[in-house]
Amino acid sequence: MTAEHQSPPVHDAGLLRDAPLAPRRLPRDTPPLQRLTLWLRRSAWRHTLALLACFFSLFPIVWIVSASFNSVDNLTASRLIPSDLTLDNFVEAFTDDVSPVGRWMWNSFYLAVTSAALNVVVAAWGAYAFSRIKFRGRRTLLTSLLVMQIFPQFLGFVAFFVLAQEFGDVWAPIGLNTHLFLIVVYLGGAAGFNAFLLKGFLDSIPTSLDEAAKIDGASSWIIFSRIIMPLARPMLAVIFMISFVAIFGEFILASFLLKGEEQLTLPVGLQVFLADGYNAKWGVLAATALVGSAPVVAVFLFAQKHIIAGLTGGAVKG
């Protein structure tokens, strides 16, 4: 794979409008009846299919919303519009002693923010080197980063236990069952991908800018921090948001490496609501789900276009 494939291939979706696959709009003077039949023939089936797809898309979402406001504690007996709307599930989710949902949400949130911020820093340094500095073994290194990228990090879970054990022996706050260890694991896992994503963007910034600065005697640190990074700010934001979304929802590594109620992240903690199969607390789960996805959906809607560009660049769903 070359850099071109990793850099965002998706453009403004509005460009789609320029695809003249069919005749343009009907003339203004078309009689209404003809308009209707033409619409039925041309567009009605499209809307039918689109509505079906909408139904498919929204089916689980609607039930999350419904169950979260329903006093009956499951996804089953409830009706779509609950007979008695209640906020009890939300209250229970955030006050129950057994399941400190608020705590989990905070854990997830600050883990995601910290890791995402550090991710951006590490990725920025790496991308700058790959994009701006000619050094021996650059191509080889780039290719090996890409190859390493295809191995899902969580497959190495046995090694993480060994590392956590050893790190913890040296300094307890980075041992097993600590957030700090999880953060460095996330950092290591995302470094290659993010650096690659950003490199594509940096390549598009003209090198004449840094050459001019170099002539004025600027060190590479000055070029990096005063020239390149300010220009790359939009892409840095994208990397931050992609990392945030991915880490906020990360389940597998967090479930391996964190134990103890207080430490858990939201995805891991939520399992307690389902621990007891038949008495699964769907209402509370749904309420939590609603609140829990809010930050992510918000981030998504806020920066839809940019995130999509980044995500489709790497073919990864966090």
Cα–Cα nearest to 179, from 270, 104, 275, 272: 104
Cα–Cα nearest to 7, from 238, 179, 244: 238
**Sole window of 95-103, 200-208, 236-244, 292-300 interacting with other proteins (rule: CB under 8 A):** 292-300
**Measured distance CA(259)–CA(199) in Å, rounded:** 37
Any contact of residue 81 with other proteins (CB under 8 A)?
Answer: no
Which residue of 113, 184, 231, 237 would you call a contact of other proteins, by CB under 8 A? 184
100 or 253: CB nearest other proteins: 253
Any contact of residue 209 with other proteins (CB under 8 A)?
Answer: no
Which residue of 34, 57, 207, 279 would you call a contact of other proteins, by CB under 8 A? 57
Which residue of 38, 85, 110, 157 would you call a contact of other proteins, by CB under 8 A? 157
Smallest gap from Cβ 5 to other proteins, in A, equals 5
Q: Tell which positions 99-128 bind other proteins, by CB under 8 A.
A: 121-123, 125-126, 128
Any contact of residue 173 with other proteins (CB under 8 A)?
Answer: no
CB neighbour list of residue 263: distance below 8 Å, 6 or more residues apart = 107, 177, 178, 179
Any contact of residue 170 with other proteins (CB under 8 A)?
Answer: yes
**Sole window of 82-90, 98-106, 143-151, 198-206 interacting with other proteins (rule: CB under 8 A):** 143-151
Task: Tell me the residue type at 173.
Answer: P
What are the DSSP calls for 8-68, one per residue? Answer: -----GGGGGG---S--PPPTT--HHHHHHHHIIIIIHHHHHHHHHHHHHHHHHHHHHHHH
User: Going residue by residue from 213 to 252, which x/- string records binding to other proteins, judged by CB under 8 A?
Assistant: ---xxxxxxx-x--------------------x--xx-xx
33 or 315: CB nearest other proteins: 315
Smallest gap from Cβ 63 to other proteins, in A, equals 6
Cα–Cα nearest to 269, from 61, 76, 111: 111
Any contact of residue 282 with other proteins (CB under 8 A)?
Answer: yes
Any contact of residue 21 with other proteins (CB under 8 A)?
Answer: yes
Which residue of 151, 177, 211, 234 would you call a contact of other proteins, by CB under 8 A? 151
Answer left, alpha or beta for residue 15, where phi above 0 means left and psi between -120 and 50 means alpha. alpha
Q: Tell which positions 123-142 bind other proteins, by CB under 8 A.
A: 123, 125-126, 128-130, 133-135, 138, 141
User: Going residue by residue from 253 to 272, which x/- string records binding to other proteins, judged by CB under 8 A?
Assistant: --------------x--x--
Cα–Cα nearest to 309, from 148, 189, 200: 200
Q: Which residue has the tokens 């921090």?
A: 225
Q: Which residue has the tokens 């009956």?
A: 72
24 or 28: CB nearest other proteins: 24
3-class secondary-structure state, position 70? strand
Smallest gap from Cβ 98 to other proteins, in A, equals 18
Any contact of residue 195 with other proteins (CB under 8 A)?
Answer: yes
3-class secondary-structure state, position 69? coil
Token pair in block for residue 35: 């308009």
3-class secondary-structure state, position 85? strand
DSSP-assigned beta bridge partners for residue 70: 85
**Sole window of 30-38, 47-55, 96-104, 204-212 interacting with other proteins (rule: CB under 8 A):** 47-55
Smallest gap from Cβ 126 to other proteins, in A, equals 4
Report the number of secondary-structure helices (H) and strands (E) in the chain: 16, 0
